[in-house]
Structures are given as C-alpha cells and as structure tokens.
Amino acid sequence: MTFWGLAYGSARAIVWIITPPVLLVALNLAGLVTPLGSLLVILPYAAALFFYLMPEQRKQWISKPLLATFRSVMPAMSQTEKEALNAGNVWWDGALFSGQPNWQDLLHQPACQLDQREQAFIDGPVEELCKMLDDWQITHEDKDLSPRIWEFIKSSGMFGMIIPESYGGLG
C-alpha cells in the first residue's frame, strides 16, 4: 500500500528513500516483523538504493552488462529500418510525447499546401466518396461499406496512394 500511496502522490525521491526504512523500523517496534525479516528486506533495498545513488557503479555493474545481453539477442537492424530511423526527426511528435510540447512552435509553423494533383484528388474522388457515405447505414445497419462503395474505393485507386506511380499507384 505504501508503494501505491507514494506513486499516486508523485512523491519526491527523498520520500521514496526514507519511507521504507522508517516503515520497517515501525513494523519492527510493533513486533510485526522479525529481525531476520527486516534483514531480508533491508539488504535488497540497500543494494537498490546504492545503485540508484551511484550512477557510475550502476552503469558499470548493471547497465553495461544488460545492454550487452540485449544487443546479443536482438536481430540486426535491416536497411529499411535504418532508412526509416534516419528519414527525419521527431520534431513535434517528440515534444508532444515528452509531455511538455511548446504549442507556440506548432502555431507558428506554416500550413502545408497540397500540390495541384493532390488537391484535384481531394476535390474529385475523395469528395465523391464522402457524398456516397452514410454513417448510420454503415455503422448501425450494414456494419460494413456497401459493395458499391468498396468498388469505388478500388477503382479510384485509394488503396494505392502510397505506392509509387511507376508501379501503378498514386504515388
């Protein structure tokens, strides 16, 4: 329960460090824990605390061996994965998932513009598809798109939007 209370209250590190020994002493004085039981709890706690407070020892004795183990069992990264990782940066996604995005940065970015071909696709087939859709019919009655809509999606090339034009897609 103590762990959950500290976690729920977002307790500071010093509180996490002090609370378990104080609680253990209180349990010992109340006769609820034997000295051997206290020893079995305090030794792993002291070891964990040592590595928490001594980052160089933690790196040497825990992090480096674990990293070496993980590297030895992980498959080699494929060329495709390397290209995907090097394709760009995490700009806004990274800021958003860090929990502290700078909204002003996002607001000051210029809006993306579609080229003529992309805008024509939005104004043509996409607009036509939207006019064909009936949300109530799809979600509550048919539980699927109608065959006519599926055929329209296929014939307009919407399934090939990321396939390069050289292979018959929309690019």
Q: What is the domain partition of the chain in residue ranges?
A: 2-73, 116-167
For residue 33, pLDDT beyond 90: no
Chain centre distance of CA 82: 19
CB of 127 closer than 8 Å to CB of 151: no
Q: Any idea which residue has 């509550």 for tokens?
A: 140
The phi-psi region of residue 168 (left if phi > 0; otherwise alpha if psi is between -120 and 50; otherwise beta) is left
User: What is the tens place of the pLDDT at every residue in 43-52?
Assistant: 988 888 888 8
Considering only residues 161 and 145, tell me which one the structure prediction assigns the higher pLDDT. Answer: 145
pLDDT-derived band at 88, boundaries 50, 70, 90: low
| pLDDT for the residue numbered 150 | 95
pLDDT-derived band at 11, boundaries 50, 70, 90: confident
**What residue type is 31 in one-letter code?**
G
d(CA 52, CA 49): 5
**Mean of per-residue pLDDT scores for the chain:** 86
The mean pLDDT of 115-141, rounded to a whole number, is 93
The mean pLDDT of 82-102, rounded to a whole number, is 76
Query: Three-state SS string across the chain, please?
Result: CHHHHHHHCCCCHHHHHHHHHHHHHHHHHCCCCCHHHHHHHHHHHHHHHHHHHCHHHHHHHHHHHHHHHHHHHCCCCCHHHHHHHHCCCCHHHHHHHCCCCCHHHHHCCCCCCCCHHHHHHHHHHHHHHHHHCCHHHHHHHHCCCCHHHHHHHHHCCHHHCCCCHHHCCCC
Considering only residues 147 and 37, tell me which one the structure prediction assigns the higher pLDDT. Answer: 147
In the chain, % of residues over pLDDT 70 = 98
| pLDDT for the residue numbered 17 | 85
pLDDT-derived band at 39, boundaries 50, 70, 90: confident
